[in-house]
Structure 1
Amino acid sequence: MLPGSFFSQVQGRMVSKLLTAIAHSMESPEFFLYTSRVKAEDLEEAESLRYCPMVFQAEIPKQLELRIVVVNGQTFVGALESSQYNNSAVDWRRPGIDPPIQK
């Protein structure tokens, strides 16, 4: 499905992510691409993404972000309370955000 068709299907509530990271560290944010909301004008040149694999998905409103890890059969869950920050509505990893963590 083309990004423009999907954008219409989800009524303009769409985010984009790179398929793979272009940076291995968030310490240099100028080289790190965060999950971002997609606007209609972003798709005007969607054809140029042909050689830049990206993931487009419907934006899901959140209250918490869960991180779940299984180590040696034991499950650990952490909840990031990122929804309280305006600039973390899409991606909590942006600089200047330090959400409380529930363990």
Structure 2
Amino acid sequence: MIQAQAARGVGFELPKTIVSNDAAAVTSFLGPDEKILTKPVRSGSAQEGRMVYSQRVEREFIVESAQQLKFVPHIFQAYVEKAYELRVSVVGEQVFAAKIDSQKDERSQVGAVRQKRRSLG
């Protein structure tokens, strides 16, 4: 959440966001017609033997998972359709950006970090 605060502080627009372990709070915060994205507070948490990153969920899933959710807060955001992803890093006075064509493969349409790296060479 520190990154989100910093991004807002320099003028980035971010989707409506709530960090919560309360299903009722999440469903009332996000409008009834909004698509919902969720991600663990800690990057890449394990679930049923696999890593979980960003994923789209239905409102019903949040309500049905209320008992499990109360033990582990998650980040919930209004889902924003995208054409691609950008990764931007700032080192001192230099800015480095990389474009990720995440929409070309259905496995990376919600979050490109899910893709297995094949190689660097």
| TM-score, structure 1 as length reference | 0.72
Partner of residue 65, structure 1: 85
Could you tell me whether the CA contact under 8 Å between 2:107 and 2:115 is conserved in 1? Answer: no
Instruction: List structure 1 segments (4+ residues) > 3 angstroms apart after TM superposition.
Output: 95-98
Per the alignment, residue 19 of structure 1 pairs with 41
Match of 1:35 in 2: 54
Residue 77 of structure 1 and its aligned partner are, at CA, apart by 0.8
- Write the distance in 1 (CA, Å) between the matches of 2:115 and 2:88: 23
Change (3 A) 1:97 1:12: farther
Please report how far the alpha carbon of residue 71 of structure 1 lies from its aligned counterpart in structure 2 after TM superposition: 1.0
- C-alpha root-mean-square deviation of aligned residues, in Å? 2.4
Aligned partner of 1:4 in structure 2 is: 27
Q: Displacement, 1:12?
A: 4.0
Over 3 Å counting, the alpha-carbon distance change for 1:62 and 1:94 in structure 2 is same
Instruction: Judge conservation of contact 1:88–1:97 (CA < 8 Å) in 2.
Output: no
Whether the 8 Å contact between 1:13 and 1:37 is mirrored in structure 2 is yes
Is the partner of 1:51 in helix, strand or coil?
A: coil
Structure 1 residue 60: Cα displacement: 0.6
In structure 1, C-alpha distance between the alignment counterparts of 2:104 and 2:87, rounded to whole Å: 17
Gaps of 5+ in 1: 24-29, 99-103
CA distance in 2, matches of 1:95, 1:17: 16
The count of corresponding residues between Structure 1 and Structure 2 is 91
Partner residue, 2:98: 78
